[in-house]
Amino acid sequence: MVALVEKRWFAAAARVLPPLLVKEDMGLTVAAYGLDMIVQRRHRLGTALSRRVSGPSLAVRLLPPNSLYWATHGTHYNAVLMPVIFVALIAAASDMISSPRVPVRLYGTAAPWASLLIAVVLLPSFAFGALLQPSFYRTPAHVIAAKRVLALIPDGASVASSSGLAPHLVDRADVVVFPSASTRPVRWVVVDMKQRANVPRSIAVQDAALGRLATLGYARVAEDDGVMLFRR
């Protein structure tokens, strides 16, 4: 973003492309870079970024039925845009402060402080607001129950796990997310019926996969507060 503000066009293009390899929603940022270059009369490079590079990534983000790809709340996917917005605000305010027009200069001076004030006022309504709640510093009973169930899975085991539990197993087990598209057999299946999400498949698909476990030879060996453990 700094390279874009400084009008180092090729450097900006080179630095915005690598995130496409690691983040599926970066097409929005690449498209914004391309549009800015078009406005700055760098038509060929800007068009290449906006159409050829960002198009497939934007399609992946906006077309799937999974709302995690395009929702405006409750997910982390827009976090990657925050540095871009911050740099853009600084660059815009800097240009405004040097404007010959008094109203523009006043707006440029006030905009960063107004943004900070709005952020502080809205902070309690977003995730950071939980820091102000005493319950944030207590371990929920459901988490304690989940840990008890996960402790029954031996180290090195092959496990299909619901997405919320998988991070607690990956350091000591061979984990795939349940239900897995892989045909590789696993010995253990653990699911959290209280903390459910449409990841990696819809809840309906997850329920269907759960219903087939018995026919695949799995038996339920533990259940605690909605966390169920199956073994084959």
Cβ(228)–Cβ(193) under 8 Å? yes
> Between these two residues, 178 and 83, which has the higher pLDDT value?
178
Residue 159 β-bridge partners: 175, 188
The domain segmentation of the chain, as residue ranges, is: 2-98, 141-231
Q: Compute the mean pLDDT over every residue in the chain, rounded to the nearest whole number.
A: 82
Q: What Cα–Cα distance (Å) separates residue 223 from each residue in 73, 86, 126, 192, 217?
A: 32, 47, 33, 10, 18
Lookup: tokens for 107: 């707006």
Picking from 84-88, 130-134, 152-156, which range would have the lowest pLDDT averaged per residue?
Answer: 84-88
- Chain segment 172-200, per-residue pLDDT in tens: 999 999 987 667 789 999 999 998 887 77
* pLDDT(70) > 70: no
155, HSE (Cβ side, Cα atoms, 13 Å): 2
Percentage above 90 pLDDT, the chain: 40
d(CA 213, CA 189): 9
Residues 6+ apart with CB under 8 A from 103: none
- Chain segment 11-34, per-residue pLDDT in tens: 877 777 777 777 666 766 777 777
CA-based radius of gyration for the chain: 24
**pTM of the shown model:** 0.60
Q: 3-state SS of 63-90?
A: CCCCHHHCCCCCCCHHHHHHHHHHHHHH
Residue 181 confidence (pLDDT):
67
Beta strands 227-231 and 188-192 are antiparallel
Please tell me whether the peptide bond between 65 and the residue prior to it is cis, using omega within 30 degrees of 0.
no
Residue 23 confidence (pLDDT):
66
- Chain segment 98-110, per-residue pLDDT in tens: 889 999 999 999 9
* pLDDT(62) > 80: no
> Between these two residues, 77 and 87, which has the higher pLDDT value?
87
